[in-house]
Structure 1
């Protein structure tokens, strides 16, 4: 398995051999609310049918620079604002993300949540407004279908 890590500079020359893409988002990008680097990397996946098909379930992302912050990412206003802004420009997470917990992280950052407990590194979360969770999930799912329809890919 080949994994292509992308952080700031990126072209699609390494995508042919890669089986997965890992997107790193830095604290600096979040604090400046500069989505342009992440957006350009993500747009490469959705702007061509070949990459849209190849990286279905082939994207992982992480947010770097908050390792020593005791708050959960969903409690950090700048992280939530960044992800909401990025998602408004690139809403195709459900198609590309490789893991269920990553989709749940996106939803936790898009919705109002309450952190219930932090024990042994595990975080409990309650969505404050179930209708907000449903609306965000439906929007992401509809955007996935819109992307697939654009290329005539069966969903």
Structure 2
């Protein structure tokens, strides 16, 4: 079957759900086990390219956005230290990469005019550039380790840059 999304999404999408209990215990084991299987060989890299959508479960009744919950931010910061390969595994069409960035960035609240009283969050372009640059280095090192196709690696890099260009321009 032909992939209509041209590398934005893999041939399948797998949802990895991170449970509130794991976040509160700071238990990275299950998430890391699921994620590391996706990158442990060239074949795994080929199969996992753009296939992951991340979800966080258990905070539906919390009125805060996930990136404002300290234990969620701390969990993702620790997870990212051990698994910085998001650009390879995450889809490049939905929320996952934005969510990870929001968990790691220094976001500043700003008042919005519409609707009155609404709060938005801004980040510096330096934070975005650092986030993209560091994870791009990690992805390219991973690809080199497993002798992943160089042209495909560059195509993924271009898609990620395009994805985050849209974030910065939004």
Aligned to 1:108: 102
Greater relative contact order (Cα < 8 A, sep 6+): 2
Aligned to 1:144: 139
Q: Displacement of 1:133 after TM fit?
A: 2.4
Aligned to 1:92: 85
Bigger radius of gyration: 2
SS of residue in 2 equivalent to 1:81: helix
In structure 1, C-alpha distance between the alignment counterparts of 2:49 and 2:120, rounded to whole Å:
28
TM-score (norm 2): 0.72
In structure 2, C-alpha distance between the alignment counterparts of 1:51 and 1:25, rounded to whole Å:
21
Ranges of 4+ aligned residues in structure 1 off by more than 6 Å: none
Aligned to 1:126: 122
Q: Displacement of 1:139 after TM fit?
A: 0.7
TM-score (norm 1): 0.79
SS of residue in 2 equivalent to 1:19: coil
In structure 2, C-alpha distance between the alignment counterparts of 1:102 and 1:84, rounded to whole Å:
14
Which blocks of at least 5 consecutive residues in structure 1 are unaligned? 2-17
In structure 2, C-alpha distance between the alignment counterparts of 1:37 and 1:124, rounded to whole Å:
33
Query: Structure 1 or 2: larger strand share?
Result: 1
In structure 1, C-alpha distance between the alignment counterparts of 2:105 and 2:98, rounded to whole Å:
10
In structure 1, C-alpha distance between the alignment counterparts of 2:146 and 2:125, rounded to whole Å:
32
Number of residue pairs matched by the alignment: 136
**Residue by residue, what CA displacement relative to the aligned partner does 1:76-127 show, whole Å, maximum 9, x if unpaired?**
01000000100100110011101353111111101111354697xxx84311
Which blocks of at least 5 consecutive residues in structure 2 are unaligned? 2-10, 154-170
Aligned to 1:61: 54
In structure 2, C-alpha distance between the alignment counterparts of 1:36 and 1:75, rounded to whole Å:
23
